[in-house]
Each structure stands twice: as structure tokens, then as C-alpha cells.
Structure 1
Amino acid sequence: MKYAVVTGTSKGLGASIAKLLMEASCHVIGIARNNNQSLTDAELPGTYSYYQADLSDLSQTENIFKSIIDDVKEKGDMESLLLVQNAALVTPIEQAGKQNTGQLVNHVHVNLLSPMIITNLWLDSFRDSNFPLVIANVTSGAANRSVYGWNAYGSTKAGLDRYTATVALEQDELNTGNKVFLFDPSIMDTEMQGEIRSADKTQFADVEKFKAYKTNNSLRDTDVVAQVLVDRLLDADNIKNGEYYSVKDIFK
């Protein structure tokens, strides 16, 4: 059976990714602060199980993933194993000098340190697997440009991009066959977009542009975006290790 572990499955892109993988007969293990009952109750070819975790708590993150790894290793019918690191925070949306320290710490933990810890555990625990691992890290165009009020978000996504590229380089040098890549979902109709639109212009200079995305129906549905990633994940032979894959590659 095909297995996939997805973070941030309670809503938005993560929920869509989980659902589409289940439709493709994957057993999905979801990690989020809250359960998505619609995934638990879904009657699809694949199944869904849930682990409650706050990824800003690094000790809890490590312990939860050790449990997941132990659980997955007991499966005798595992044909493939995917890891999709989707969970992220956009707050604090604020200029440097006016930010809350606790929010900054949580932001860096969820967006950067948690994926690093999980990747480290994952690669170590499955180094003797009889199939290549595939890890997708969800990034943002904000990693490559400076946006007023997104100093934390842009920085952590840039860090995730460099981390992913470096891990891919290491896996190539070690000839593991494992593939680690980035997926940029671009703009979607999510609660995160709602958070962005609720910011004051003094906090986020581009807020009117993001309000216009909603008004003009420019935001893609998360199912549409997730399908682009899931199609890639299910065609692992054509994934290039370390690649930056964007939804814009499909919807030009």
C-alpha cells in the first residue's frame, strides 16, 4: 500500500492534499492541531488517520514523529512513502520593531525548525528502506522577494528553500535515490489569505493587492492547487531531486 504523511491537514491546502491522495488509494497520516472529521469519515479508496500536534512545540513534534515512524515501520505492505510538509504560519504580519517575540518564535519553529527536525528523523529512520523516499516541502514566492510586513514569512521560506536544496544535494552525493523538492502553490483561497487581508496597511503594505485577489476571484481553489502537487507526487520517477515546482508551471 502507498503511505503519505501530510502536515497541516485540518484545513486548506493540507486537507485537499490528503483527500486527493486518499482518492489515489494512499493511506494518509495527517498531523495538525485539530482533526479534520471530513477526512476521517471519508469513504475513499485510501484511509486517514490523525495525530494531534502543535508543530511550534519542537519536543512534541519530535516525539509525535517518532511514534509515526514506529507505526509506519510496522506496516508490512508498504510500497511507497511520501512526506508532505505543508503546515505554516504567516503571522506575525508586521514591520520589524513592532513584533511579538512569542509569535516570532512560534513562526520560526513551525515554518523552518519543525521541517528540519522532521526531515532529519525521516532520513535517518528510513535509510534502509527498499524504496526511495519522496519529500515535498511547501514554499512561497515570498522566499525570493522582500515584502513589507513579511520579514518573518519570507525569511523562513527562504531558509526552507535553501535547506531543501542542500538536503537534495546531500542525497544525490550519497546516491540514496531519495528525492526532496519544493512546491510553490502561489495564491489560494484559504484562511491564511483571510489573515493577510485583515492586516492593516501599516503592517502589510500590499494588503489592498491581496484584497483585490479575493474581489477579482483570482485565488485558486485548494483542490485545484493540490491536484498539481499530487499528480507530481504520484509520478515520482519524473520528480527531479531538489527541483522548485510551482503551480504556475501548469497554469501559465
Structure 2
Amino acid sequence: MGVYLITGTSRGLGEALAAHLLAKGHRVVGFNRTPSPRLGEEARTAAGGPYAGQTYDEVLCDLSEPVTAAAAFEAFLMEAAWLWNADEITLINNAGVLDPMGPAEEADPSAQQAHLLVNLTAPLLLTSAFLRQASQWPAPAGKRVISISSGAGRKPYAGWSAYCSAKAGIDMMTRCIALEQGEGPGSVRIASVAPGVVDTGMQETIRGTDPRRFPDAGRFVKLKEAGSLYTPQEAAARLAAWLESGAIKQGDIADLRELPAT
């Protein structure tokens, strides 16, 4: 049994990935600020429903308060005795926010702080909690942390100083912890992956942004018009194939656009 612990499964890529993994027979736990309407109790237990017979659990936590969220996450790990029976256990740091957008000098300081708390501090604290508990689980097929990064962490965009900084931080966090974990017995494999341009609510926000605040908005409009965006389901299928490929190396900084199509 593969177990996936995923932040941000209430919508977008996180929801699509959770649904895809459930359909493949894995166990999924979502960590969200608000309940997932699609993956909730009624959807997964209804006769003939898409997740009938599968197991989805949810822990409500607010990643904008990362210390509290990490404590709730670690408490869950300590109490979930069934993790001892899992073949493989994977934490996926997926949840993220986009705002504030615009010139750095115009951003509200509290909004900048909140952005970094969700996009960078929370993944670091949850990863740290996962590492503390991981040594207790046999998990013969391995223990992993996968963080959803972005091309914006590797290429600067005017108007995205917070977003680019956080995603670059995710990649560097991955590299640093990979060095700490190494390749020894029981080590946790850690990697980050940019999913490409996925047509989620975040993309709708980008396309509707005043070009003065985000000069590259027109580029994303053209990508949408050209049909060049992944649907969340397409991105989830590609990501799941990579997760199940056995090809993930310690410290990988990957891009779904460079991986084989499924």
C-alpha cells in the first residue's frame, strides 16, 4: 500500500492528484484549510462513486499558521499506527498561494509575510516533522518528500518577487535536505518538481491581472488561447507516473515538461 500525504487537495492540482492516486488504489490523506468537497465522505463512499472502496482521510489545518499546522501534522503522524503497514510513504508539499502580485514596493507587508508562510515556511516545517517520524516506519519501498516547485523558482518574473523567491527556496530546501539525508539505509528521498503551466484557478487570476502589476500576463493569455496548458488531470497523471517510475533520485529538481508523457 502506498500512502500519500498531500497538502492542498481541496482544488486544482492537489485535488486532481489525490483523485488520480485514489483511483490507482493508494491511500491519500489531505491537509487543508477547508474541506475538499470532491474528495469528502459522500463522494468517496457513495455506491458507484469514483472513490468507492478507496481510502481518503482529511486533516484540517491552516498553513498560514505553519507552526500550528506542523504540530497538527506531526501529531497525525504519531497517532496513525497504520503507517507502519505502508509499503511506501510520500509527503507532497503542494499547497500554495500566488498573491501578492505587483512591484515589491507596493506590496502589503502582511500579505508578503503570509505568502512566504504558506509557500515556504510551511513546507519546511512539515518536511522537518516528516523526517523526525520517518525513522520509525519500515516502509520497505521507501519514504519520500516531493515539493511542488515552479519554473518561476528558476526564472525571474517582474511582479512575482514573493512567488519566485518562495519557489526558489523550495528548490534550495530540497537540495540541502537531500545532502543531509544522503543515500544510507532508511534515508528519506527528497525532490522538487515544477508541474508546468496548469490551467487552475491560479492561472485564471494570472490572466486577469493588470499588466502593470504583472507584465507577463499576456504570455499566459496566449498559452491559454493556444491550448498549451495542462489540465489538472493531465498534470496529475504525469506527476503520478513520475512518482511511480522509480526514477526519482535524491535531490532531484525536476520539470514535468521534460519527463516522458504518459
Shorter-chain TM-score range: over 0.9
Say if 2:242 is the partner of 1:249. Answer: no
Matching residue of 1:114? 122
Residue of structure 2 aligned with 1:218, choices 214, 225, 228: 228
- Of 201, 210, 221 in structure 1, the residue corresponding to residue 211 of structure 2 is 201
Q: Does 1:15 align with 2:15?
A: yes
**How far apart, in 1, do the equivalents of 2:128 and 2:184 lie?**
15
Q: Could you tell which deviates more after superposition, 121-130 or 107-116?
A: 121-130
User: Amino acid of the residue matched to residue 32 of structure 2?
Assistant: A
Distance 1:76 1:120 in 2: 19
Q: Distance in 2 between matches of 1:251 and 1:190?
A: 22
1:238 maps to a residue whose letter is A
Cα distance per residue 1:123-181 (max 9 Å; x no partner): 01122322331111000011111101011100110011001011111111655432101
Q: List aligned pairs for 1:1-252, cutoff 5 A.
A: 1-40=1-40, 41-42=43-44, 43-131=51-139, 132-172=142-182, 175-235=185-245, 237-250=246-259
Offset at 1:88?
A: 0.8
**Residue ranges of structure 2 left out of the alignment (5+ in a row):** 45-50
Runs of 4+ deviating beyond 3 Å: 73-76, 173-177
Relative to the length of structure 1, the TM-score reads 0.93
Q: Deviations over 1:179-236 (max 9, x none)?
A: 101111110110000111121111101111112222222211111111111112223x
Q: CA deviation at 1:93?
A: 0.6
Which amino acid in 1 is paired with 2:170?
A: L
Count, aligned residues? 251
Q: CA deviation at 1:44?
A: 4.2
Relative distance call for 1:2 and 1:251 in structure 2 (3 A) is closer
Say if 1:66 and 1:178 are closer, same or farther in 2 by CA, change over 3 A: closer
| Cα-to-partner distance string for 1:56-115 (whole Å, 9 max, x where unaligned) | 112321222023212333445322211111011111111111001111111100111101
Q: CA deviation at 1:244?
A: 1.8
SS of alignment partner, residue 105 of structure 2: coil
Distance 1:22 1:154 in 2: 31
TM-score relative to the length of structure 2: 0.90
Equivalents in 2 of 1:202, 1:175: separation in Å? 52
Aligned-partner residue type, residue 203 of structure 1: R
* Identity, % of aligned positions: 28
Instruction: Decide whether aligned partners of structure 1 residues 141 and 71 sit closer, same or farther in structure 2, where only a CA change above 3 A counts.
Output: same
SS at match of 1:39: coil
Name the stretch that deviates more: 48-57 or 107-116: 48-57
**Structure 1: which 5+ runs fail to align?**
none
